């Protein structure tokens, strides 16, 4: 089944991806710019048909809520990784880092989480299909086209998958605003970790939370109740990586 992706950077990344088979490129009439020129060059190199449409016609294909930036690509996915592929890749390492995403329903939040995970170079992301946004054009757009750089699998049987990672010596920690242990009191400096992030409203589901070795919170002052889920994830992931990479000694001038 063909899929669509829109936005300048997401389309440019998709054209260069070995995991996607581009079928048809659509551009808005008279659209210009350096990124557009690179997209056209790559489409010509791959011999992909290019159609020019007016803004309304392009909006109809992308969806009326889509901010397509005048660019849309129809493609077929090729060889997306599974959770088993990710586990095979990381199980022989002693300090792997895998992200588990549960019940994140807003595509923009999911896209931001995936973009952050990619930026920090985690070993893979596994997403629950239950109550979680699918990886669609809106998620890809929110990630600013970064998803081609990381292994991502969206799966059923989330509890079974987490159990498999635990059996392969992964510690599982979830970020929860109500948890009593502050994030920076944890020691993430050794071993392989699974970082579990929950949804906007329900957080991590109870059955999933029961599999965690630790639950940690991000302490806050003043009257802020909680961070947006993608912001909290970014703060938590940065602290995990800071500890895993160890302190750096800088000489004073």
Count of domains forming the chain: 2
- Give pLDDT, residue 7: 87
Asked whether residue 253 is domain-assigned, the answer is no
Asked whether residue 250 is domain-assigned, the answer is no
Between CA 105 and CA 134 the distance in angstroms is 9
Last residue of a domain, one of 25, 60, 77: 77
Q: Which residues of the chain have pLDDT under 70?
A: 1, 78-79, 141-148, 221-226, 247-253
145 phi, psi to nearest 5 deg: 75, 20
Q: Are 27 and 42 in contact (CB under 8 A)?
A: no
Q: Are residues 205 and 240 in the same domain?
A: yes
Asked whether residue 88 is domain-assigned, the answer is yes
87-134 confidence digits (pLDDT tens): 999 988 888 999 999 989 888 899 899 989 988 989 999 999 888 887
Between CA 35 and CA 101 the distance in angstroms is 32
What is the CATH number for 55? 3.30.1330.30
**In what helix (H) or strand (E) does residue 11 lie, and over which residues does it extend?**
helix 8-15
- Give pLDDT, residue 171: 95
Q: Are residues 100 and 209 in the same domain?
A: yes
Range of the domain at 17: 3-77
Q: Are residues 89 and 64 in the same domain?
A: no
Cα–Cα distances (Å) from 232 to 36, 98, 139, 236, in that order, read: 34, 16, 18, 6
What is the CATH number for 105? 3.40.1280.10
Asked whether residue 69 is domain-assigned, the answer is yes
- Give pLDDT, residue 248: 59
Between CA 189 and CA 36 the distance in angstroms is 44
pTM here is 0.76
Between CA 57 and CA 61 the distance in angstroms is 7
Asked whether residue 109 is domain-assigned, the answer is yes
Q: Are residues 141 and 225 in the same domain?
A: yes
| b (16+ CB within 10 A) / e for 101-114 | bbbbebbbbbbbbb
Sheet containing 3-6, strands listed edge to edge, beginning at the edge strand earlier in sequence: 3-6, 71-77, 20-28, 50-53
Q: Are residues 100 and 128 in the same domain?
A: yes
């Amino acid at each position: 089944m063909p899929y669509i992706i829109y936005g300048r950077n997401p389309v440019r990344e998709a054209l260069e991806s070995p995991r996607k088979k581009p079928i048809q490129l659509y551009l808005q009439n008279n659209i210009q710019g350096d990124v557009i020129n690179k997209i056209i060059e790559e489409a010509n190199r791959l011999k992909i048909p290019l159609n020019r449409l007016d803004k309304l016609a392009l909006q109809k294909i992308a969806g009326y809520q889509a901010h397509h930036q005048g660019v849309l690509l129809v493609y077929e996915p090729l060889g997306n990784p599974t959770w088993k592929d990710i586990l095979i890749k990381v199980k022989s390492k002693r300090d792997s880092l895998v992200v588990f995403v549960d019940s994140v329903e807003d595509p923009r939040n999911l896209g931001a989480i995936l973009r952050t995970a990619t930026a920090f170079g985690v070993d893979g992301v596994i997403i629950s299909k239950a109550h979680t946004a699918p990886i669609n054009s809106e998620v890809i757009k929110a990630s600013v086209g970064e998803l081609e750089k990381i292994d991502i699998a969206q799966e059923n049987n989330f509890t079974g998958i987490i159990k498999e990672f635990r059996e392969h010596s992964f510690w599982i920690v979830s970020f929860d605003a109500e948890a009593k242990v502050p994030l920076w009191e944890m020691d993430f400096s050794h071993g392989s970790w699974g970082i579990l992030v929950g949804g906007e409203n329900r957080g991590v589901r109870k059955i999933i939370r029961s599999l965690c070795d630790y639950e940690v919170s991000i302490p806050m002052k003043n009257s802020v109740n909680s961070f947006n889920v993608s912001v909290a994830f970014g703060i938590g992931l940065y602290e995990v990586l800071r500890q895993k990479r160890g302190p750096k000694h800088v000489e004073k001038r």
